[in-house]
Structure 1
Amino acid sequence: MDLHPGDPRRLGGYRLLGRLGEGGMGTVFLAVDDGGDGRPVAIKVIRAEYARDEQFRMRFRREAEAAQRVARFCTAQVLDVVLDGEVAYLVTEYIEGPTLAGWVAQNGPLRGSMLDSLATGVAAALNGIHAAGVVHRDLKASNVLLSRLGPKVIDFGIARALDSPVTRTDSGPVIGTPTYMAPEQFDGKITAASDIFAWGCVISYAATGRTPFGAGTPYEIMRRVTTADPDLSALETPLRDLVARALRKRPQERPSARELLLALVGDATDPMRATTKILDAADWTRPAAPGTDPPTEGGAPPAGRNV
C-alpha cells in the first residue's frame, strides 16, 4: 500500500516505502534501513495522543526493551525502539508471508506436518516470549505469519495496556480478541497462562477453520468461554488432548509454554533443535503465497503484519 499524504518519508535512518496497515495504536509502515544493509523492516508509529502521554512513554520503553530480549526463534525480532519528542515508534524484522487467518480463509485448515509444525512453532515462540518476562496478551490467527521458514508470532508485548480494549471492568482494561481470550481476561487479569489458552484457540482454528467457542457477540463468546466446553471434535489425538489442557478454565491447570513445547517435541534434551527439525519437515514454501485476513477473523483488521 502506498504512503498517504502527510505520512512521514523518513524516520531516523529508515526510509519509508508504504503502509502495511493501521490500527488503534498507530500505523505500520514498510521501510528500509538506509544506514545498514538496506534490509526491509516494519515500523509501527504510535499515535501522537499516546506518544505525548508520559505514563504511556515509560510503559512503552519498558515493554519494548523487554521485547528486545525475546529470542528470535519463531518471532519477529524487535530491532529498535525510539522515543523522540512526540514521536514514538517500534522497528521490527519484516517477515514476508500471509497471516494464518488469511491462509486458512483462502486455502482451508492446515493438516498433517504443517499443523504439527504450527503448533510447535507457536509454542516455541511463546516459550521465548515468556522467558523474557513478556506476555503477548493478544495471540490470535492474524498475529501469526506463515513465512517460508515456518510460523512467526508478531505483535507481542508492546504497550498492550492501551491497545484495543474490548471493554473495562473494575479490575482494569479488558485487552484482547474475544474469540481467543481466556476466561480471566474478561475480568482484566492477564498472565502467561492467558497466552497458553490463546495458543489452544489458535491451533483449533488452524485445524478446523473456526475458533473452539464459536462466533457471536463479545457477550455470547464470553459466556461460552467461561462456562462451556470447547468444540474440539475435529482435532485428532494427541494434539486434541494438548489443546484441551491449554483450554482449561483455571489458569493454574494449563501447561506452561515450555511444557507445551516439550510435549510436542517429545521431551527432547534440546527442544529448539527438535523444533527446527519439525519445522523443516513441513512444506513452508507454500504459505508464502499472498493471503488476506478475512474481515470476520478477530473483528477489526489487524494493525499490521510485522509488529
Structure 2
Amino acid sequence: MTAVGPLLPSDPARLGAYELVGRIGEGGQSVVYLGRREDGEQAAVKLLRDRFSRDPEWRARFEREMRMIGRVAGFCTAQVLDADISGDLPYVVSEYVPGPSLSGLVNEKGPRTGTDLDRLAIGTVTALAAIHRAGILHRDFKPSNVLMGPDGPRVIDFGIARIAGASATKGSGVVGTPSYMAPEQVTDTDLGTGVDLFTWAATMLFAATGRHPFGNDTISAVFHRILNYEPDLSALPESLRGVVASCLAKDPAQRPEAQGVLLTLLGGAETIEDDMGPLSTGAHFAGDPRTPPSAPPTVGRADHLMGTDSGGTGPGLGGPAGYAQMPQTVPPRRRRRGG
C-alpha cells in the first residue's frame, strides 16, 4: 500500500468535496494528498504549491496536465475525477491507486525478477503504447512515476508531457529528471516517441538491479554517461536484454516504437509457422507491416530542468561500475517455436 504521511500544520483540511486525511507524495511544484469524500470514496488530490499558484503560466501547465490525462486510456493511468484550476488553491482530483511506486517497491523489497519483471515490462510498455496512440509524449517516465496498482502498473505525472508533433517552449536548459533522460533531452533537441522508450528501458534496468542505470550523482556526470556510455545489461533476463538494449540506442531513430516492443515481448515480432501453417501474431493490430512507418512525431525543445528522481543506490563521483564505452546495440532477440 502507498504510505500515507500526516498532514502538516500548513496543509489545508479540505479541497472541494474531499477531506484531506494525509500526504501521499510531493514534488517541487505540488503536493499530493489522500482525500476522502463523505461517502467514503478515496482519491488522490494534487495541489499546486502556493508560490506557483500565483503564476498564470504554472496554472496553465497544471490545466494542461489535466487535459493530457483525459486523453489517455483509463487502464494505464490514474483518471481525473474532479478539478478546480481557477480558485485560490488550484487542485486536481484523480483516481487513487492503492500501491507503492516502482521506486518505493524496489527500495523496500529489492529488484524485480522472473515473471514479476516480465509483467512489469509488458504492463508499462502497453501503457506507453496507449499514451503514444493518444498523441502524447510523456517525457518524464521514471520509477517514481510508475504506480504498482493491484490491477497492474499505472503511469502517472503528465506535468511535462506534450502533444506529439506540437512545438514546446524553447528556452535555456532541458526538462526532465536527470537520471532518467534520453540523449536528445540532454542535448536539448527535438523529441519524438523514442524519448519515452529510452527512459522506459532505463526504468526496467532499475527494476532489475535497484540502481539508477546512469547514476544519480552530479548532473554533469549523469549527462556524460547518458551521452557516452552504455549501462551493464547482464542483470536482465535474455527475454528482455535485447529489446532493452535497442531502446537504449543513443540515436532515437534506431529505437523501436512502443507497440513493436510490446509485440516482441509477447513473442509476436514475426510469423510463427508449424505443421498447421502460418499463425497470426497479432501484428495486424499495428497495421500492415508492408507499409513504411511514418516519421516519428517531434516536439520542440524543452524549457528548463526539473527535479531528480529518488530511489535506488546512487554511485560515487567516480561513476557507477559496469559501464562500457558505446558498444553495438543488441537487436531484439526473436523467439521461435520449436518443432
**Normalised by the shorter chain, which TM-score bucket?**
0.7 to 0.9
Conservation of the 8 A alpha-carbon contact between 1:172 and 1:187: no
How many corresponding residue pairs? 267
- What do the CA deviations read for 1:159-180 (whole angstroms, capped 9, x no partner)? 569xxxxxxxx85442222221
- For structure 1, the 5+ residue unaligned runs are 162-169, 273-292, 299-307
In the other structure, the counterpart of 1:75 is 77
- What do the CA deviations read for 1:187-226 (whole angstroms, capped 9, x no partner)? 3344432111110001111112223333432111111110
Distance 1:261 1:202 in 2: 16
In the other structure, the counterpart of 1:54 is 56
Conservation of the 8 A alpha-carbon contact between 1:246 and 1:255: yes
Distance 2:40 2:47 in 1: 20
SS at match of 2:179: helix
Deviation at 1:43, TM superposition (A): 0.8
Conservation of the 8 A alpha-carbon contact between 2:215 and 2:314: no
Distance 1:180 1:32 in 2: 33
> Which structure has the highest helix share of the two?
1
In the other structure, the counterpart of 1:285 is none
In the other structure, the counterpart of 1:269 is 282
Higher relative contact order at CA 8 Å, sep ≥6: structure 1 or structure 2?
A: 1
SS at match of 2:136: coil
In the other structure, the counterpart of 1:86 is 88
Distance 1:137 1:206 in 2: 19
**Which one-letter code corresponds to 1:185 in the other structure?**
Q
SS at match of 1:84: coil
Query: TM-score w.r.t. structure 2 length?
Result: 0.72
In the other structure, the counterpart of 2:205 is 204
Conservation of the 8 A alpha-carbon contact between 1:26 and 1:45: yes
Distance 2:314 2:77 in 1: 21
Deviation at 1:6, TM superposition (A): 3.0
Distance 2:112 2:105 in 1: 9
Distance 2:284 2:149 in 1: 21
Match of 1:96 among 87, 95, 98: 98
Tell me the percent identity. Answer: 45
SS at match of 1:174: coil
Change (3 A) 1:58 1:103: closer
**Which one-letter code corresponds to 2:201 in the other structure?**
G
Alignment of structure 1 residues 93-242 onto 2, 5 Å: 93-155=95-157, 157-159=158-160, 171-189=171-189, 190-242=191-243
In the other structure, the counterpart of 1:14 is 18
- For structure 2, the 5+ residue unaligned runs are 163-169, 269-280, 286-309, 316-339
Conservation of the 8 A alpha-carbon contact between 2:107 and 2:312: no
Deviation at 1:297, TM superposition (A): 6.7
In the other structure, the counterpart of 1:250 is 251
Distance 2:140 2:21 in 1: 27
Q: Which moved more, 1:140-149 or 1:118-127?
A: 140-149
Distance 1:187 1:294 in 2: 25
Q: Which moved more, 1:40-49 or 1:82-91?
A: 82-91
Conservation of the 8 A alpha-carbon contact between 1:67 and 1:132: no
Change (3 A) 1:119 1:28: same
Deviation at 1:295, TM superposition (A): 7.3
Distance 1:140 1:159 in 2: 13
- What do the CA deviations read for 1:40-88 (whole angstroms, capped 9, x no partner)? 1111100233222223333332332121121122322232332123321
Deviation at 1:30, TM superposition (A): 0.3
Q: CA RMSD in A?
A: 2.5
Alignment of structure 1 residues 293-304 onto 2, 5 Å: 294=311
Q: Which moved more, 1:6-15 or 1:217-226?
A: 6-15
SS at match of 1:266: coil
